[in-house]
Amino acid sequence: MADDNAASRDPEHLRKILIAREHARTDAWLRKDRKALEALLAPDFVEINSLGRFGKEELLDTLFPILTLYEFTMEEPLIHKFANNTATISYRCHEVLTVNGTKTEGTFRVTATYTINNNQYRLSVWQISPAT
């Protein structure tokens, strides 16, 4: 079943889809599964984090090999649907990771924008910043 049809009629269905997509993204990082992560990303994907701004290929080729995620929690997810083909999920998270062997741990705010691509919601923009 395509994500867009049911999600456009049922906000709870959209919520389940986006939460599942974010869990799948986290799982791909935890398992270091590049193919699984790549499958979730839209062709024009961009990630913005404390290390910079990464396009899809930069994320997969540069950041993915040097970042190891150990823990990631999602708290209080909020869903917003903006158009037939765009929705966001925002939430607080706690994560533990290393980048090039340097440990980082903290509480952050994530905003993820999903757009319909090939009849499924794909991650277009993922932004994480320190929680205030």
For CA atoms 46, 52, 58, 63, the dihedral sign is: negative
Q: How is the chain split into domains, by residue range?
A: 3-130
Could you tell me the fold of the domain covering 3-130? Answer: Nuclear Transport Factor 2; Chain: A, (3.10.450)
| Integer Cα distance of 90 and 78 in angstroms | 5
What stretch of H or E contains 23? Answer: helix 11-31
For the cut 90, the answer to whether the pLDDT of residue 96 exceeds it is yes
Q: pLDDT tens digits, residue range 39-49?
A: 999 999 999 99
Phi, psi of 85 (to 5 degrees): -120, 10
Q: pLDDT tens digits, residue range 85-95?
A: 999 999 999 99
| Integer Cα distance of 42 and 62 in angstroms | 18
**Mean pLDDT, all residues of the chain:** 92
